[in-house]
């Protein structure tokens, strides 16, 4: 028997490949399915099942393409109503995979169809729990996402369901069972996930606040709902794609991998109203870019920020990438449902420059330069675009907080005539913020290289962990 976790860092998502005696199953696959097919081919195995723990909100699953390519049966838990052929399992139903058995445990709460899959070895002993978004390491799935799709499901009702699922279905299981969750730290599907991506259920019973046996239902509901921030706008749109279906990843890749020379790229941008997305590093982008493009670097938390900041999932997109990374970018866009990339700049930004077309740039300064500016002008605006929780933890005295997550809230508060020095934690998010506002006509934003880390390391700024409401933007 083989269990392999396939973890994708930019989505903090874990898919699972299980193989036993020539039969395989995949739990919660990503959109691109070739890795799973290759693993099965290497093992000489047939993919028999695609198990879906629930209708995912943070990514588009690869269940349809994988089932089509392999002949596998798609399996959901009770109450799921997909718009395509799938097996809707009963609570407790078992599926044979070689010499092992996988049992469905219906655990409503994160969503109503949410289910865990309990693996039993050749002797019938439960050994592994594929817990989806029901149980994470250190946390549980947030119970406010399904209400975005089904209005009558309040977050309080879902939290109550989750409490019962954990108490009656999960906590009675043996302590030595290994928990394999769908997400880890960094995912927006929970609020307090560990960086660890597996653990024993026994250890989770000791350390996970949601499994505290002394916690009442009322206390659990309050605890699990406290501190939740609004989910990214693309979440309910991904849920609908996972329920209703979507274009094949092959079609999406073919559509997106359309080479455009500089002149054709410029014409397409002007004629289609497509968003120009530059996925190079913040440092490269600052030095020069296609006017009105926005920067979301491919080497950071790319897909979640695309989903957070581009509200229309059907927005046409033109890409500027590092040459050779076009397919990677298109694939990662497709993971969160952005399927309408219509082409990329052949030769990247260097080709644009060589064509003699107009370019733009962003002023970027070091933390030491910012210190010199602040020494001469104590009223210089420092704009901290980290999350509110990061800002609350520690920040530069008199800095203003304008979280990138809620960039539209900052627009009315920023004076276009004033200069703002923008930083995040390390420089990735600040360039997204500055480029997005630059495309909207805000020309007086300066990026601070290295972010808060570099600022703190200078030792030239007063840092506080006290939040004064009057300084928050």
The structural domains of the chain, with segments of one domain joined by +, span: 2-236, 247-354, 364-471
Position 391 scores a pLDDT of 95
CA quadruple 41, 44, 47, 51: dihedral positive or negative?
Answer: negative
pLDDT tens per residue, range 101-144: 999 999 999 999 999 999 999 999 999 999 999 999 999 999 99
In this model, does residue 468 exceed pLDDT 80? no
The superfamily CATH assigns to domain 247-354 is Rhodanese-like domain (3.40.250.10)
CB 371, CB 461: distance < 8 Å: yes
Per-residue pLDDT band at 150 (split at 50, 70, 90) = low
Fold (topology level) of 2-236: Metallo-beta-lactamase; Chain A (3.60.15)
In this model, does residue 399 exceed pLDDT 60? yes
User: Using CA atoms, how far apart are residues 133 and 182, in angstroms rounded to an integer?
Assistant: 6
Give me the chain's average pLDDT, please.
94
Question: Reading across the β-sheet that carries 87-88, which strands appear in turn?
Answer: 2-8, 13-20, 23-27, 46-51, 73-76, 87-88
CB 424, CB 404: distance < 8 Å: yes
Position 425 scores a pLDDT of 97
pLDDT tens per residue, range 341-383: 999 999 999 999 999 999 999 999 999 999 999 999 999 999 9
Written out in words, the top-level CATH class of the domain with range 364-471 is alpha beta
Q: Kindly state the average pLDDT of the residues 398-416.
A: 91
In this model, does residue 469 exceed pLDDT 70? no
In this model, does residue 471 exceed pLDDT 50? no
Q: Kindly state the average pLDDT of the residues 54-65.
A: 97
Structure tokens at 186: 């960094």
Per-residue pLDDT band at 181 (split at 50, 70, 90) = very high
| pLDDT above 90 coverage of the chain, percent | 90
Beta bridge partners of 88: 76
**Same topology between domain 247-354 and domain 364-471:** yes
CB 278, CB 289: distance < 8 Å: yes
């Amino acid at each position: 028997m083989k269990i392999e976790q396939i973890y994708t860092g930019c989505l903090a998502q874990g898919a699972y490949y299980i193989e036993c005696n020539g039969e395989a199953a995949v739990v919660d696959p990503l959109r691109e399915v070739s890795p799973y097919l290759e693993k099965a081919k290497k093992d000489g195995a047939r993919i028999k099942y695609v198990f879906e723990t629930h209708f995912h909100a943070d990514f588009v699953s690869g269940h349809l393409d994988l089932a089509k390519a392999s002949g596998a049966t798609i399996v959901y838990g009770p109450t799921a109503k997909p718009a395509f052929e799938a097996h809707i399992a009963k609570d407790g139903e078992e599926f044979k995979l070689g010499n092992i058995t996988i049992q469905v445990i219906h655990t409503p709460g994160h969503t109503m169809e949410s289910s865990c899959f309990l693996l039993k070895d050749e002797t019938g002993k439960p050994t592994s729990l594929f817990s989806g978004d029901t149980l994470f390491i250190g946390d549980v799935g947030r119970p406010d996402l399904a209400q975005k799709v089904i209005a009558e499901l309040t977050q309080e009702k879902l939290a109550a369901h989750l409490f019962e699922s954990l108490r009656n279905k999960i906590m009675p299981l043996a302590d030595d069972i290994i928990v394999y969750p769908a997400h880890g730290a960094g995912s927006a599907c929970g609020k307090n996930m560990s960086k660890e991506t597996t653990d024993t259920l026994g250890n989770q019973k000791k350390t996970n606040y949601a499994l505290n046996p002394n916690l009442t239902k009322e206390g659990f509901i309050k605890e699990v709902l406290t501190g939740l921030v609004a989910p990214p706008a693309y979440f309910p749109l991904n849920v609908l794609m996972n329920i209703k279906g979507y274009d094949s990843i092959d079609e999406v890749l073919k559509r997106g991998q359309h080479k455009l020379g500089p002149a054709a790229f410029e014409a397409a941008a002007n004629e289609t109203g497509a968003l120009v997305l530059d996925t190079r590093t913040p440092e490269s982008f600052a030095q020069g870019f296609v006017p009105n493009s926005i920067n979301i670097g491919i080497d950071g938390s790319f897909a979640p920020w695309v989903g957070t900041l581009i509200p229309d999932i059907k927005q046409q997109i033109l890409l500027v990438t590092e040459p050779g990374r076009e397919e990677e970018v298109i694939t990662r866009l497709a993971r969160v449902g952005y399927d309408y990339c219509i082409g990329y700049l052949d030769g990247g930004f260097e080709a644009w420059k060589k064509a003699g077309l107009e370019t733009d740039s962003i002023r970027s300064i070091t933390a030491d330069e910012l210190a010199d500016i602040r020494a001469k002008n104590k009223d210089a605006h420092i704009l901290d675009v980290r999350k509110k929780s990061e800002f609350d933890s520690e920040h530069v005295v008199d800095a203003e907080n304008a979280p990138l997550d809620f960039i539209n809230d900052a627009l009315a508060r920023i004076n276009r005539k004033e200069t703002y020095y923008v930083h995040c934690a390390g420089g990735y998010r600040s360039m997204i913020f500055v480029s997005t506002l630059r495309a909207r006509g805000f020309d007086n934003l300066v990026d601070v290289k290295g972010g808060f880390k570099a600022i703190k390391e200078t030792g030239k700024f007063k840092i506080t962990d006290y939040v004064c409401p009057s300084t928050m933007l």
